[in-house]
């Protein structure tokens, strides 16, 4: 059986041929979204947030970005839950 992704709503995807228990294990924990853009000052707290996302199972998505707001450097890093990048297939 071929699996295909189906959009149920803006925030819910399911794959045919995969049980609900299998799908649930593919979802991010604690109701977190599959895609997250982490932003903040370039400090140890930001690095810790990115590290925590990676420890949960997220993967880095794209390159980090940095800008200067006139006072300090602000950074951003996108993270993606594994399998979420296949949702458009």
Domain boundaries, the chain: 5-86
Classify residue 28 by its DSSP letter.
Answer: P
Contacts of 33 (CB under 8 A, 6+ apart): 11
d(CA 4, CA 16): 6
Q: What is the pLDDT of residues 29-80, one digit of tens each?
A: 999 999 999 999 999 999 999 999 999 999 999 999 999 999 999 999 999 9
Beta strand pairing call for 73-80 and 5-7: unpaired
**Structure confidence at residue 18 (pLDDT):** 44
d(CA 1, CA 38): 37
Q: Contact, 75 vs 66, CB < 8 A?
A: yes
**Structure confidence at residue 64 (pLDDT):** 98
What's the whole-number mean pLDDT along residues 10-28? 54
């Amino acid at each position: 059986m071929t699996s295909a992704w189906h959009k149920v709503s803006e925030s819910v995807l399911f794959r045919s041929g995969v049980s609900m228990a299998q799908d649930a294990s593919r979802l991010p924990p604690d109701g977190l979204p599959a895609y997250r853009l982490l932003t903040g000052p370039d400090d140890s707290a930001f690095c810790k947030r990115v590290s925590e996302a990676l420890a949960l199972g997220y993967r880095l998505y794209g390159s980090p970005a940095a800008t200067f707001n006139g006072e300090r450097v602000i950074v951003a890093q996108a993270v993606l839950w594994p399998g979420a990048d296949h949702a458009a297939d």
